[in-house]
Protein backbone atom coordinates (compact mmCIF):
# COMPACT_ATOMS: atom_id res chain seq x y z
CA UNK A 1 0.00 0.00 0.00
CA UNK A 2 1.25 3.48 -0.87
CA UNK A 3 0.27 6.61 1.08
CA UNK A 4 1.21 10.06 -0.21
CA UNK A 5 1.10 13.23 1.88
CA UNK A 6 1.17 16.68 0.28
CA UNK A 7 2.51 19.54 2.39
CA UNK A 8 1.04 22.91 1.43
CA UNK A 9 2.99 24.87 4.04
CA UNK A 10 6.11 26.90 3.20
CA UNK A 11 7.53 26.10 6.64
CA UNK A 12 9.27 22.76 6.85
CA UNK A 13 9.61 21.07 10.23
CA UNK A 14 6.77 23.16 11.65
CA UNK A 15 3.12 22.51 12.52
CA UNK A 16 1.63 21.24 9.23
CA UNK A 17 4.78 19.35 8.29
CA UNK A 18 4.98 17.74 11.74
CA UNK A 19 1.38 16.55 11.66
CA UNK A 20 1.82 15.08 8.18
CA UNK A 21 4.93 13.25 9.36
CA UNK A 22 3.02 11.78 12.31
CA UNK A 23 0.24 10.74 9.95
CA UNK A 24 2.71 8.95 7.70
CA UNK A 25 4.32 7.40 10.76
CA UNK A 26 0.99 5.82 11.63
CA UNK A 27 0.55 4.67 8.03
CA UNK A 28 4.01 3.16 8.06
CA UNK A 29 3.28 1.25 11.24
CA UNK A 30 0.21 -0.15 9.47
CA UNK A 31 2.50 -1.50 6.76
CA UNK A 32 2.27 1.22 4.12
CA UNK A 33 4.98 2.69 1.96
CA UNK A 34 4.88 6.48 2.49
CA UNK A 35 6.08 9.65 0.79
CA UNK A 36 5.89 13.31 1.82
CA UNK A 37 5.95 15.93 -0.94
CA UNK A 38 6.54 19.62 -0.18
CA UNK A 39 4.71 21.84 -2.67
CA UNK A 40 6.94 24.83 -2.00
CA UNK A 41 9.90 22.85 -3.37
CA UNK A 42 8.18 22.59 -6.76
CA UNK A 43 7.72 24.92 -9.71
CA UNK A 44 4.12 24.85 -10.96
CA UNK A 45 1.00 26.91 -11.64
CA UNK A 46 -2.65 26.52 -10.85
CA UNK A 47 -5.21 25.58 -13.50
CA UNK A 48 -4.84 27.73 -16.64
CA UNK A 49 -8.26 26.82 -18.10
CA UNK A 50 -6.73 25.05 -21.10
CA UNK A 51 -9.67 22.58 -20.90
CA UNK A 52 -7.58 19.75 -22.37
CA UNK A 53 -9.19 17.48 -19.80
CA UNK A 54 -12.65 18.40 -21.12
CA UNK A 55 -12.12 17.92 -24.86
CA UNK A 56 -14.70 15.61 -26.40
CA UNK A 57 -13.23 12.12 -26.72
CA UNK A 58 -10.01 13.07 -24.91
CA UNK A 59 -9.81 10.65 -22.00
CA UNK A 60 -7.16 11.95 -19.60
CA UNK A 61 -6.16 10.44 -16.27
CA UNK A 62 -4.69 13.63 -14.81
CA UNK A 63 -3.89 17.25 -15.63
CA UNK A 64 -1.92 17.48 -18.89
CA UNK A 65 0.18 20.55 -18.04
CA UNK A 66 3.93 19.95 -18.11
CA UNK A 67 5.69 21.13 -14.97
CA UNK A 68 6.87 19.79 -11.61
CA UNK A 69 3.36 18.61 -10.69
CA UNK A 70 3.26 16.12 -13.54
CA UNK A 71 5.11 13.37 -11.65
CA UNK A 72 3.27 14.19 -8.40
CA UNK A 73 -0.14 13.79 -10.03
CA UNK A 74 0.97 10.51 -11.58
CA UNK A 75 2.01 9.23 -8.16
CA UNK A 76 -1.43 10.13 -6.83
CA UNK A 77 -3.02 8.12 -9.64
CA UNK A 78 -1.07 5.12 -8.39
CA UNK A 79 -1.44 5.61 -4.62
CA UNK A 80 -3.86 3.92 -2.22
CA UNK A 81 -4.39 6.83 0.18
CA UNK A 82 -3.83 10.59 0.01
CA UNK A 83 -3.35 13.15 2.77
CA UNK A 84 -3.31 16.89 2.13
CA UNK A 85 -2.00 19.35 4.69
CA UNK A 86 -2.14 23.13 4.74
CA UNK A 87 -2.11 26.10 7.07
CA UNK A 88 -5.22 28.27 6.83
CA UNK A 89 -4.52 31.74 5.43
CA UNK A 90 -7.39 34.26 5.26
CA UNK A 91 -10.01 31.50 5.69
CA UNK A 92 -8.56 29.32 2.93
CA UNK A 93 -5.68 26.97 2.26
CA UNK A 94 -2.27 28.32 1.23
CA UNK A 95 -1.80 29.60 -2.30
CA UNK A 96 0.36 26.65 -3.32
CA UNK A 97 -2.17 24.18 -1.97
CA UNK A 98 -5.02 25.96 -3.75
CA UNK A 99 -3.15 25.80 -7.06
CA UNK A 100 -2.38 22.13 -6.47
CA UNK A 101 -6.01 21.34 -5.68
CA UNK A 102 -7.18 23.01 -8.89
CA UNK A 103 -4.81 20.82 -10.90
CA UNK A 104 -5.72 17.67 -8.98
CA UNK A 105 -9.50 18.06 -8.85
CA UNK A 106 -10.55 19.56 -12.18
CA UNK A 107 -9.67 16.65 -14.52
CA UNK A 108 -11.88 14.31 -12.46
CA UNK A 109 -14.82 16.74 -12.31
CA UNK A 110 -17.52 16.30 -14.95
CA UNK A 111 -19.53 19.06 -16.64
CA UNK A 112 -22.08 16.40 -17.64
CA UNK A 113 -23.14 15.08 -14.25
CA UNK A 114 -20.97 11.99 -14.56
CA UNK A 115 -19.24 10.43 -11.53
CA UNK A 116 -15.58 11.04 -10.81
CA UNK A 117 -13.23 9.83 -13.53
CA UNK A 118 -10.40 9.14 -11.07
CA UNK A 119 -10.92 5.45 -11.78
CA UNK A 120 -10.86 4.01 -8.27
CA UNK A 121 -11.69 4.82 -4.67
CA UNK A 122 -9.00 5.70 -2.15
CA UNK A 123 -8.98 6.92 1.43
CA UNK A 124 -8.22 10.62 1.76
CA UNK A 125 -7.72 13.06 4.62
CA UNK A 126 -7.00 16.75 5.11
CA UNK A 127 -4.91 18.22 7.94
CA UNK A 128 -5.32 21.93 8.71
CA UNK A 129 -3.27 24.13 11.01
CA UNK A 130 -4.31 27.64 12.00
CA UNK A 131 -3.67 30.51 14.37
CA UNK A 132 -7.40 30.90 15.09
CA UNK A 133 -8.70 29.29 18.32
CA UNK A 134 -11.38 26.64 17.93
CA UNK A 135 -14.25 28.76 19.32
CA UNK A 136 -13.81 31.27 16.48
CA UNK A 137 -14.01 28.73 13.64
CA UNK A 138 -17.77 29.15 13.01
CA UNK A 139 -17.60 32.94 13.30
CA UNK A 140 -14.58 33.17 10.96
CA UNK A 141 -16.21 30.97 8.34
CA UNK A 142 -13.57 28.25 8.59
CA UNK A 143 -16.05 25.41 8.98
CA UNK A 144 -17.41 26.13 5.52
CA UNK A 145 -13.91 25.55 4.10
CA UNK A 146 -13.56 22.26 5.97
CA UNK A 147 -16.97 20.99 4.89
CA UNK A 148 -16.46 21.90 1.24
CA UNK A 149 -13.04 20.28 0.92
CA UNK A 150 -14.19 17.14 2.68
CA UNK A 151 -17.24 16.96 0.40
CA UNK A 152 -15.25 17.27 -2.81
CA UNK A 153 -12.60 14.78 -1.64
CA UNK A 154 -15.33 12.24 -0.91
CA UNK A 155 -17.05 12.91 -4.24
CA UNK A 156 -13.90 12.56 -6.33
CA UNK A 157 -12.00 9.87 -4.43
CA UNK A 158 -14.56 8.04 -2.30
CA UNK A 159 -13.74 9.08 1.27
CA UNK A 160 -12.62 12.10 3.23
CA UNK A 161 -11.91 13.15 6.80
CA UNK A 162 -10.31 16.15 8.48
CA UNK A 163 -8.05 17.04 11.39
CA UNK A 164 -7.94 20.64 12.61
CA UNK A 165 -5.10 21.95 14.78
CA UNK A 166 -6.14 25.33 16.19
CA UNK A 167 -4.33 28.11 18.07
CA UNK A 168 -0.98 26.78 16.94
CA UNK A 169 2.45 27.93 18.07
CA UNK A 170 3.89 30.10 15.30
CA UNK A 171 7.32 31.27 16.49
CA UNK A 172 10.10 30.20 18.82
CA UNK A 173 10.31 33.77 20.14
CA UNK A 174 7.09 35.80 20.09
CA UNK A 175 8.90 38.87 21.45
CA UNK A 176 10.58 39.42 18.07
CA UNK A 177 7.28 40.01 16.29
CA UNK A 178 4.42 42.51 16.46
CA UNK A 179 2.06 39.88 17.84
CA UNK A 180 0.87 41.28 21.17
CA UNK A 181 -2.63 39.96 20.49
CA UNK A 182 -1.28 36.45 21.19
CA UNK A 183 0.35 35.17 24.36
CA UNK A 184 3.51 33.31 23.37
CA UNK A 185 3.80 31.54 26.73
CA UNK A 186 0.24 30.22 26.53
CA UNK A 187 0.80 29.13 22.95
CA UNK A 188 3.97 27.28 23.95
CA UNK A 189 2.12 25.50 26.74
CA UNK A 190 -0.59 24.55 24.27
CA UNK A 191 2.04 23.22 21.87
CA UNK A 192 3.41 21.01 24.64
CA UNK A 193 -0.04 19.65 25.51
CA UNK A 194 -2.83 20.08 22.94
CA UNK A 195 -0.55 19.89 19.90
CA UNK A 196 0.99 16.70 21.23
CA UNK A 197 -2.53 15.28 21.28
CA UNK A 198 -3.05 16.54 17.71
CA UNK A 199 0.08 14.63 16.71
CA UNK A 200 -1.36 11.48 18.24
CA UNK A 201 -4.61 12.05 16.34
CA UNK A 202 -2.66 12.48 13.11
CA UNK A 203 -0.81 9.22 13.74
CA UNK A 204 -4.10 7.43 14.39
CA UNK A 205 -5.48 8.95 11.18
CA UNK A 206 -2.55 7.52 9.26
CA UNK A 207 -3.26 4.04 10.57
CA UNK A 208 -6.98 4.46 9.93
CA UNK A 209 -6.67 5.44 6.27
CA UNK A 210 -4.54 2.35 5.68
CA UNK A 211 -6.86 -0.07 7.46
CA UNK A 212 -10.28 1.36 6.53
CA UNK A 213 -12.02 -0.59 3.81
CA UNK A 214 -13.89 1.55 1.29
CA UNK A 215 -17.43 0.39 0.61
- Domain layout of the chain by residue ranges: 2-211
Q: How confident is the model at residue 168 (pLDDT cuts 50, 70, 90)?
A: very high
- The pLDDT assigned to 56 comes to 86
- The pLDDT assigned to 175 comes to 87
What's the pTM?
0.94
The SS3 of residue 59 is coil
**Is pLDDT of 203 > 90?**
yes
Contacting residues for 24 by C-beta, under 8 A, at least 6 apart: 3, 5, 34, 35, 36, 83, 206
Asked if residue 30 lies in contact with residue 75, where contact means CB atoms within 8 angstroms, the answer is no
Query: The domain at 2-211 falls in which architecture?
Result: 3-Layer(aba) Sandwich (3.40)
Q: How confident is the model at residue 121 (pLDDT cuts 50, 70, 90)?
A: very high
- The pLDDT assigned to 63 comes to 94
**Is pLDDT of 60 > 80?**
no
- The pLDDT assigned to 212 comes to 82
Of 54, 50, 23, 52, residue with least CA distance to 36: 23
User: What are 8-47's pLDDT values in tens digits?
Assistant: 999 998 999 999 999 999 999 999 999 999 999 999 999 9
Alpha carbon distance 122, 1 (integer Å): 11
- The pLDDT assigned to 139 comes to 85
- Averaged pLDDT, 71-79: 96
Amino acid sequence: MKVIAINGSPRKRWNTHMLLERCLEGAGEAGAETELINLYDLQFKGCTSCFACKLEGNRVTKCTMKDDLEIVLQKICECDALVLGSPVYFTSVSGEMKSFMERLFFPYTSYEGKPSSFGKKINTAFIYTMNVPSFLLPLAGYNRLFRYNQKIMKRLFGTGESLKATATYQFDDYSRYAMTYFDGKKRLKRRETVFVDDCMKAKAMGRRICLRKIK
